[in-house]
Copies of this chain bind each other. A is one copy, B any other.
Amino acid sequence: MCAAISASRSPDVVVVGAGLIGLVTAWRAARRGLAVTVVAETAEGAASPVAAGMLTPATEAAFGEEALMRFGVLSRDRYPAFVAELEDDSGLPAGYRPHGTLQVAFDADDLARLAHLSELRARLGLRTERLTGRECRRLEPMLAPAVRGGYLAPDDHSVDPRRLLSALYAAAERRGAVGVRDRVREVVLDGDRVRGVRLASGGELAAGQVVLAAGVGTPAIGGLPPGVVPPLRPVKGQLLRLRTTPGEPPLVERTVRGLVRGSPVYLVPRDDGEIVLGATQEEQGHDTRLTAGGLWEVLRDAHELVPGVSELEVAETCVGLRPGSPDNEPLLGPTAVPGLHLAAGHFRHGVLFTPATGDAMAEALTTGALPGYARRFAATRALEAVGGTGTGGDPDQWT
């Protein structure tokens, strides 16, 4: 859909950002008949093309994040219909794998922490099944003999975010959205109201509504009155993509998440034999360096859990920056500036939240208000900053 800006008609909506959140907003809004233009540049540290694509609210359930998990379950449960519509509109596969997730513990302490979380899962109504080490290895024979036990989450699936991006782009285009490769220098106001955006290449793109969905780059967009866009913390993730030798069976059949001496790690398989290993969680500003320590941490834990990863070829190493809002929850819908919306701050849940965010944003763009299930995440809510989780690991997730 990339094209020169047409002078023929101003769009109803300009979406700034072409990650999963920007594109799903564009597609869902276009399906409701809005004329949408998406403006994006290739951003270093963009989270969407780097994400592993786990749709795993049950195995990610964390104390203090119940509201996030409920939104996650809602979004996860929309995935089958969402993927069907998306593949229909785009003609492209979304890379959805409804094969469940196995969460395992490396030692007795790890198992105790997982068991503690199972109480929370039960409270949230999330299905998981307790398994012995032997039962885990029966499901995934390549697991290390040391694995003590775990939980099968039959409803936690995965999707390939790169395929999802391509499909969303094609589907949005098929529904009439227009893409522009440029950088938005600033939002242009007319009095208190949004009038459009000014592009780095010069020129203004007029629109009655503007959605900012540029991940960690969102607060840097110019022209915004103070306080309208809260600060977003870049939370760095380092990952590796491994390649199964052609003709060899896949190393794991389903997503395997593990806790290895307190440190979380995951292996997410794709249909084409790729396995994504991840991920670090580091808070040190806008830093996209691939580091020796980041690779080492991920490889160490993955190797403990599934020693056979050692034999696989490294196809790619990547770094992405997750956008963390002050309270770690997404920022959705209208802001204090009439016509200006946010769809940002999805932190480590961007892929999971994609269907629900798309629907919520389309609703906000057509009716002016978020639907009930997304109202908690209103961009205009009072925000209190939470503490960063520090470098490495994700202790909050497990306690």
Task: Show the binding face of A for B, using Cβ within 8 Å.
Answer: 240, 242, 277, 289-296, 299-300, 302-303, 309-314, 317
Residue of B nearest to A245 (CB): B289
Min Cβ gap A295→B in Å is 6
**9 further interface pairs, Cβ-Cβ under 8 Å (given A277-B292, A293-B311):** A240-B292, A242-B292, A292-B313, A293-B309, A293-B310, A295-B295, A295-B314, A300-B300, A314-B317
Min Cβ gap A317→B in Å is 7
Residue of B nearest to A296 (CB): B299
Q: A302 vs B291: C-alpha distance in the bound complex, in angstroms?
A: 13
Let me know if B296 and A292 touch, CB within 8 A. Answer: no
Lowest 6 CB-CB distances: which A-B pairs, in order? A293-B310, A296-B299, A289-B313, A290-B314, A292-B309, A292-B312
Residue of B nearest to A240 (CB): B292
Q: A303 vs B300: C-alpha distance in the bound complex, in angstroms?
A: 11
Residue of B nearest to A243 (CB): B289
Q: List 6 A-B contacts (CB under 8 A).
A: A292-B302, A292-B310, A292-B312, A293-B310, A295-B314, A296-B296
Min Cβ gap A168→B in Å is 30
Q: A242 vs B300: C-alpha distance in the bound complex, in angstroms?
A: 19
Residue of B nearest to A314 (CB): B290
Let me know if B300 and A296 touch, CB within 8 A. Answer: yes
Give every chain B residue within 8 A of A242 (Cβ-Cβ). 292
Let me know if A291 and B303 touch, CB within 8 A. Answer: no
Residue of B nearest to A307 (CB): B293
Give every chain B residue within 8 A of A240 (Cβ-Cβ). 292
Min Cβ gap A270→B in Å is 16
Min Cβ gap A192→B in Å is 45
Give every chain B residue within 8 A of A291 (Cβ-Cβ). 310-314
Min Cβ gap A223→B in Å is 33
Min Cβ gap A291→B in Å is 6
Min Cβ gap A302→B in Å is 7
Let me know if B295 and A299 touch, CB within 8 A. Answer: yes
Q: A242 vs B295: C-alpha distance in the bound complex, in angstroms?
A: 12
Give every chain B residue within 8 A of A302 (Cβ-Cβ). 292
- Cβ contact of A292, chosen from B289, B293, B314, cutoff 8 A: B314
Residue of B nearest to A291 (CB): B313
Q: A294 vs B277: C-alpha distance in the bound complex, in angstroms?
A: 15
Give every chain B residue within 8 A of A317 (Cβ-Cβ). 314, 317
